[in-house]
Amino acid sequence: MNILEQLPIPLLSWYRENARTLPWRSAPTPYHVWVSEIMLQQTRVAAVLGYYQRFMDALPTVEALARVEEDVLMKLWQGLGYYNRARNLQKAARQIVDGFAGEFPRTYETLLSLAGVGEYTAGAIASIAFGVSVPAVDGNVLRVVSRITGDDSDISRPETKVRMREALLQIIPRDAPGDFNQAMMELGATVCVPNGAPNCDNCPAKSFCAAFLQEKTAQLPVKAPKRARRTEERRVFLIFTQNGEKRVALRRRPARGLLAGLWEYPNELKAVDHPLETWGVHPVGTQYGGVGKHIFTHIEWHMTAQIVYIEENDLPKGWIWADRAALRRDYAVPNAFQSFAHLVEERL
C-alpha cells in the first residue's frame, strides 16, 4: 500500500491553516501564476517578493510583456539571476499572443510547449490556474516525498523524479490539485526544510512519515554531490571620462552564455595580456580600484579593479558612456559587479 495515500487530507487541512499570504495568491490569474512560477524557479520566495509587484505594475498583461523592449525587461529582472528566464518569458508571451491568439494555454502538454516552461512549471500552472490534476514536482516536493516514504534514491536522478511524480499522480486530490501542489511546496519550504533540523512537531505527516518515525530526517533526501566550481581571475576596468560630464564606460555582454545581454564594466581574464591595448583604449591616468569577489553556481570570479581615465572620444565602438541616472535607470548590470558599485557611484 502507498504510504502517500495518508497525506492529502491532513496536508490540505494544514495548508488552509498555514498558507502564507503571497502577492501572486491574491488573484491567481494564469498570467500571475505563470510569472510568479518563472520567478520562483531556483529562487526563494523572499527574493521574489521585491520583484513581483514591480514587474506586474510595469507589465500587467501578457500583451504588454510581449511588446516590451528587451532592455526594459532585463532592467526589471536585474539582480534576480538566471536571466534566460526573462528572455524565455517574453518568447512565451509572444507564443501566447501570436500562436494562441492571446488565449492562455490550459493543458499540461500545451503549457510544456511554452519557452521556459518545463515539467514543474507546466504542472504548477495547470493545477493552480486551471485545476488540472497534475503534480508539480520541485526540490521541496522531492524532499518531502523522500522523507515521508523513506525513499533513499538519489533525487538528482531524473528516474527518481519520474517515479515520485507518478506516485503523486495517484494521490493528488482531483478537487484541489493546485492547493495540494502548493501545500507540498509550502510544507517543504517552512516545515520539512533542507538545511538544519526539520520542524517535525508541526508537520501534518508526523504520524506516518517514515523518516520521522525512523529518525532518518537528517539522512534524507539522498542527493549526489555536486562538482566543485572553478575560479577565474579577472581584471575589471572602471573607465571614466577625463573631462566634462562624469560618466562611466559600459559594454554589452554577448547574447549567449553567462549574464547574456546584460551590461558590464569591461573586464578580461588576468591571463590575457594588455586588454586596454587590444581594445584600443589609451589611458590618461590609472589608479588601483580594489578587489572584489563573486560566486556563481559553477564559477567563482576573483576580480581586481583598475580605475582608468580616458578621453571621451576614445571609447571603443559599441561601448557606451553612462551617467549616474542612466546607470540606475537604463542599464541592467549584474550583481557580480556589486563590489565596485560604491566606487563607481562616488565618481559619478
Query: What minimum distance in Å lies between the beta carbon of 102 and DNA?
Result: 20
Count the site residues for DNA by CB under 7 A: 63
79 touches DNA (CB under 7 A)? yes
Distance (Å, whole) CA 339 – CA 238: 12
Interaction pattern, residues 21-60, with DNA; x per rule: CB under 7 A: -x--x----------xx--xxxxxxxx-------------
Asked if 116 touches DNA (CB under 7 A), the answer is yes
Q: Smallest Cα–Cα separation from 177: which of 229, 228, 226, 129?
A: 129
Q: In whole angstroms, what is the distance from residue 33 CA to residue 272 CA?
A: 46
Q: Which one of 51-59, 65-73, 155-163, 205-213 is the stretch in contact with DNA (CB under 7 A)?
A: 155-163
Between 118 and 280, name the residue whose CB sits nearer to DNA: 118
Distance CA 280, CA 291 (A): 24
| Structure-block grid coordinates of residue 171 | 494521490
Q: Would you name the residues annotated as active-site residues?
A: 37
Part in contact with DNA (CB under 7 A); list of ranges 60-68, 101-109, 110-118, 316-324: 110-118
212: cell is: 520521522
Give the footprint of DNA on residues 213-232 (CB under 7 A).
223-227
* C-beta neighbour count of 1 within 10 angstroms: 5
d(CA 24, CA 48): 11
Cβ neighbourhood burial of 309 (10 Å; 0-12, 13-18, 19+): middle
C-beta of 94 vs 294, nearer to DNA: 294
Q: Where does this chain bind DNA (CB under 7 A)? A: 22, 25, 36-37, 40-47, 79-84, 88, 115-122, 124, 138-140, 142-143, 157-159, 182, 185-186, 188-189, 194-196, 223-227, 257-260, 294-299, 334-336, 338
